[in-house]
Amino acid sequence: MLKGGLRLLGLVLLAGLALQLYFVGRIALAAFVDPESTSFQRSEIWQVAHTTGALPWRQQWVPYAQISGHLKRAIIASEDASFVEHDGLDIEALEKAWEKNAKAEERAAGQHAARPPKIIGGSTITQQLAKNLFLSGERTLLRKGQELVLTVMLEALLSKQRILEIYLNNVEWGEGVFGAEAAAQLYYRKPAARLNAMESARLAVMLPRPKYFESRAGSPYLASRARVIMARMGGVTPP
């Protein structure tokens, strides 16, 4: 029994190691080859196709140089202000998110709220890319652990510029809308290279809830938050 258990444990560890080597190979290849799709994209498209029978997919890869500098600064200012400095993990942001979530849970418990409080994340751009490229949307400790390992791999094997390039070309900006070029064409009828500061800030604000804001372009919150992001963009230097 003991020998069988040890053999099974060995096989599990070997499979885990093989999986990590697979991820290393995929990430190393991404330094030179543009990913055709991400795990998140395939999951989203399958759900839409399964529900509606349609297959919406707007995406056009554009090189880093053909993405507006305004959009790069807006995304960093909105999503990950320390992107250029950190090594993939922003411990301070995670601690702040933990504190805000703990306070939100306390308020919800005190008010006997029917709905659970909104969970605020502290994920960096690199963590978001790791999750979107390779992982499912489930929230488990095992998946979170794999996300952290992938984040370290991405930072070790890719430059900050390449990480941001892949992120901007694959992030969701609406149902079936992926990447900066598709978003720029859909919302502003222009290429991503020509986005101005306000347009870029509005796109950045959409990212946490792209499907929600897709049909609420005139949202007062979106306009107000975009002005806040614009004020921060001057202090951001993209990689």
Q: Could you report the per-residue pLDDT of 38-97, keeping only the tens digit for each?
A: 998 888 888 877 777 677 788 999 999 999 999 999 999 999 999 999 988 866 666 665
How does 65-104 read in b/e, with b if 16+ C-beta sit within 10 Å?
A: eebbbbbbbbbbbbbbbebeebebbbeebeeebeeebeeb
Ordered structural domains, the chain, with CATH: 2-89+124-233 (1.10.3810.10)
More confident residue, 217 or 94: 217
Gyration radius of the chain's alpha carbons = 20
Q: What tokens were used for 227?
A: 């002005």
More confident residue, 140 or 156: 156
Closest CA to 172 of 162, 183, 161: 183
Q: For residues 29 and 22, what is the distance between their CA atoms, to the nearest angstrom?
A: 11
Residue with tokens 């400095």: 85
Per-residue model confidence (pLDDT) at position 127: 94
Q: What is the mean pLDDT of residues 21-42?
A: 92
Task: State how far the alpha carbon of 68 is from the alpha carbons of 60, 83, 177, 200, 239, in Å.
Answer: 15, 18, 18, 8, 13
Closest CA to 191 of 179, 202, 182: 182
Q: Evaluate whether 222 touches 215 at the Cβ level (below 8 Å).
A: no
Element (H, E) at 137: none
Q: How confident is the model at residue 226 (pLDDT cuts 50, 70, 90)?
A: very high
Answer whether residue 118 shows pLDDT above 70.
Answer: no
